[in-house]
Amino acid sequence: MSLALLAIGAVVLVVASTVLAPRVGIAAPLLLVVLGFAASLTPWIGPVTVPPEWILSGVLPPLLYSAAVSTPVMEARRDFRIISFFSVVLVVVSAVVVGVVATVLVPGLPLGVGIALGAVISPTDAVATSIVRRAGVSPRLVTVLEGESMLNDASALVLLRSAIAAVGAGITLWQVVGQFIWAVLAAIAIGFAVGRLNLLVRAKISDAIAGVALSLVVPFIAYLPAEHLGASGLVAAVTAGVVTGDGAPHRMGAGDRMSDRTVWRTIELLLESSVFLLIGLELRALAKDLTAHGGSILSALAVGLVAATVVVAIRAVFVAWSVWVLARRNRRQPAVREKLAEMSDKLDQGVLPEGGRPERRARRLLRRTPPVSSHEKRQTRLTRWRQALDGRIADLDYLAGEQFSWRDGIVLVWAGMRGAVTVAAAQTLPEDTPHRSFLVLVATLVAVGMLIAQGSSLSWLAGRLGLTGRDSTGDEEQWRALQSELNRAALARLEAYPDKIAEGVRERLLRRTYSEDDPYASAVERVRLEQYHTLRLDLINAERDELLVLRRTGSYPSAMLDAVLTQLDAEQIGIELRR
C-alpha cells in the first residue's frame, strides 16, 4: 500500500475516532490504539516500524510546544514546587526502583540497562493527559499533570542516556547530575531566547498567514540547537511555547492569535492522534521481533505488569506525601492572608509597608519604570505594592479554593499515564543493548496497558469520586466582577472622547452584564460609522489592557480570562472585517 493511501487512511481514522469516541463512551486515543492494532492484522498492512527519531524530533516538539502555548502560566507558577518535584525526583526514584526490580526479574540484565528501562517508563506523557483534560476534573489537577508531563521528559531522557553510557563505561553520579543541570538550564535559556525572538518577529509581521507559517517552525528552531549542544530539545520547545503563549496578547494582534489557535489545534489533533495510531500499528511488529530473538511475549507481559505496578505504587507514595504537605501549608495560609490584608488596609491609607516578599516584587517593578519626581515615586510605589499584594492574596485564595483532597490525590495517581515518549524512548536503545527486543516490547506494553487501563476508567473514577463537572471558567459572580473591572477601564478611556460621541456608549456600558450584550450599538445612531468603529476598537484595547493586568495579578481563573480575551478578539476582528 502506498504511503499516500496510508496517510489518507490515517486521517480518515483520526477524524472518525474523534467523532465516534464520545458517542461510544471511549476516549479517542484508546480507540485509535485499538484501530491501529486491528489494522496491523489485515493482509493489506504489513509490519509497521517507525524510526524513534520521527517521534522524538518530528512529532513531540510541535506537540509539546502547542500544549505549552496554551498552558496557564499563572496556575503553573503557583504549583511549580509540586510540578518540579514530580518531574525530577519522582522520575529518578521510579527509574532506580524499576531498574533494581528488572534485574531481579530478568536474569543477566545489567543494572544500567534496568535503570534505562525505568527511565523509559517513568515519565508521564503530555499526549496521554489529553484524556485527563476531557474528564472534566479540577483545572489545578490538569495544570499539575500537564506541567509534569512537559518537564519530566528532560530528566527521563538524560537519565536514559546516562544509564546506557554507564553500561559501556564508568560514569559518576556527579556526571549524571551535571548532565541533567546542563540539559535543563541550557534548554530553558535557548527556549526563552527563541520565544522572545518569535514574539519580536511576529510583532513586525502584519500578514496573519505568514505569521502562522513562521510559527510552524518555532518548536524546531528551539529543539535543534538544544539537542546539538547536548541539552533537552523538548524542554527548549516547551519553554519557547510558554514564553510565546504568555507574551502573545501583548505582541500579536487578535487575528494572528486566533489564526494560530485554529491551525495549531488542527496540527495537535493530527499529530496526537497519529502517535496513538502508530502505537497500535507497531504492536504486531514488536511482538514478531521479540519472538524472532527467542523471547517470550508472556514474560514481557509479566515484567510489564510488575513494572507498571511499581511505578503506580511509587507515584501513590509521592502524591500522598505531596497532598499532606500542601494541606499542612494551607493550614498556615489564613494567618498569612490576614497579615497581607492588614498591609492592604495600610496601603488604602497611603502608608507604605516595609519588608516582606511583596516589597521585593514591588522594587523589581519599580526599577522597570523609574519615576521622575518624589510624588510620582510615591504613587508608583503605592501602585506596585497594590499589584504585588493583590497578586499574593490571589495566590493564597486560589490555593485555598483549589485544595487537593484525598479524592484529588487518587485521580492524580491514576491519571499518570504513559504514552508516546515511552514508546519512542524505548526504541532509541542501542542495537547492542542486552535484551533490547524484550525491553522495547515491555516498555510498549506498559504504555499501552496503562493507557487502556487508566485511560478507560479515569472518567468513571473521577465521576465516582465526585470530581467531574467542574466549570473551569468560574462562577457567575466572578464573571460579573470581571466585567465590572473591564467596564471601569473602558469608561476611563471614554473620558478622552467628546460627550456627544461617548454618551450612548457610556449608557450601554453601565447597563452591560453579559459579554454578548453589545454595549456600543446605540452609538451608531449618534455618530458616523467610522467614528463609532474607531471608538469601539479603542475601548476594546482598553478592556484588553486591563485584562492583561488582571492576568498578571491572578485574581480570576485563567480559563475565564482566556474566554473573555477570545471574545474581545472576535469582536475586534468583526469590526475590522466590516470596516
Per-residue pLDDT at 236: 92
Query: Which residue bears the cell 471574545?
Result: 567
Residue 501, C-alpha cell as written in the block: 460621541
Instruction: Kindly write down the DSSP assignment for every residue of 504-541, as one continuous string.
Output: HHHHHHHH--STTS-TTGGGGGTS-HHHHHHHHHHHHH
Per-residue pLDDT at 189: 94
Q: What proportion of the chain, given as a percentage, has pLDDT over 70?
A: 82
Per-residue pLDDT at 513: 47
User: How far, in Å, CA of 161 to CA of 230, rounded?
Assistant: 11
Round the average pLDDT of the chain to a whole number and report it. Answer: 79
> Would you call 473 helix, strand, or coil by DSSP?
coil
Q: Which of 81-95, 240-254, 357-371, 522-536 has the lowest mean pLDDT?
A: 357-371
Average pLDDT of the segment spanning 160-166 = 78
Average pLDDT of the segment spanning 548-554 = 79
Per-residue pLDDT at 433: 81
Q: Which of 231-245, 247-261, 483-497 has the lowest mean pLDDT?
A: 483-497
User: How far, in Å, CA of 108 to CA of 421, rounded?
Assistant: 26
Q: What is the CA radius of gyration of the chain?
A: 26
User: How far, in Å, CA of 522 to CA of 378, rounded?
Assistant: 41
Q: What is the pLDDT of residues 552-564, one digit of tens each?
A: 777 777 878 888 8
Per-residue pLDDT at 57: 84
Per-residue pLDDT at 546: 85
Q: How many CB atoms lie within 10 A of CB 128?
A: 28
Query: Which residue bears the cell 535559556?
Result: 189
Q: What proportion of the chain, given as a percentage, has pLDDT over 90?
A: 16
Average pLDDT of the segment spanning 319-340 = 81
Residue 184, C-alpha cell as written in the block: 535543563
Q: What pTM value is reported for the model?
A: 0.77
> What are the sequence ranges of the domains in the chain?
3-324+406-464, 332-401, 476-578
| Cβ pair 109, 303 in contact under 8 A | no
Average pLDDT of the segment spanning 508-515 = 55
Per-residue pLDDT at 489: 84
Is residue 571 pLDDT above 70, yes or no? yes
| Cβ pair 220, 61 in contact under 8 A | yes
Count CA within 13 A, CB hemisphere, residue 210.
7
Q: CA-CA distances (angstroms) from residue 515 to 80, 143, 491, 544?
A: 33, 27, 16, 13
Per-residue pLDDT at 369: 46
Most confident listed range (76-80, 208-212, 573-577): 208-212
Q: CA-CA distances (angstroms) from residue 534 to 341, 362, 540, 560?
A: 41, 35, 10, 27
User: How far, in Å, CA of 178 to CA of 230, rounded?
Assistant: 12
User: How far, in Å, CA of 333 to CA of 341, rounded?
Assistant: 12
Average pLDDT of the segment spanning 323-349 = 76
Per-residue pLDDT at 404: 84
Per-residue pLDDT at 251: 86
User: How far, in Å, CA of 547 to CA of 536, rounded?
Assistant: 16
Residue 353, C-alpha cell as written in the block: 509597608
Is residue 502 pLDDT above 50, yes or no? yes
CB within 8 A of 515, min separation 6: which ones? 483, 564, 567
Is residue 90 pLDDT above 90, yes or no? yes
Average pLDDT of the segment spanning 245-256 = 86
> Would you call 105 helix, strand, or coil by DSSP?
helix
Per-residue pLDDT at 372: 46
Is residue 368 pLDDT above 70, yes or no? no
Per-residue pLDDT at 363: 47
- 446-474 b/e (C-beta count within 10 Å ≥ 16 → b): bbbbbbbebbeebbebbeebebbebebbb
Is residue 117 pLDDT above 80, yes or no? yes
Average pLDDT of the segment spanning 435-451 = 87
Average pLDDT of the segment spanning 23-39 = 80
Average pLDDT of the segment spanning 358-370 = 47
Is residue 514 pLDDT above 50, yes or no? no
Is residue 361 pLDDT above 50, yes or no? no
At the topology level of CATH, where does 3-324+406-464 sit?
Na+/H+ antiporter like fold (1.20.1530)
Per-residue pLDDT at 378: 64
Average pLDDT of the segment spanning 156-163 = 81
Q: Which of 133-137, 141-145, 179-183, 279-283 has the lowest mean pLDDT?
A: 133-137
User: How far, in Å, CA of 527 to CA of 469, rounded?
Assistant: 46
| Cβ pair 85, 274 in contact under 8 A | no
Instruction: Kindly write down the DSSP assignment for every residue of 380-414, as one continuous string.
Output: HHHHHHHHHHHHHHHHHHHHHHT---HHHHHHHHH
Report helix angle 529-553 to 374-401, nearest 10: 70
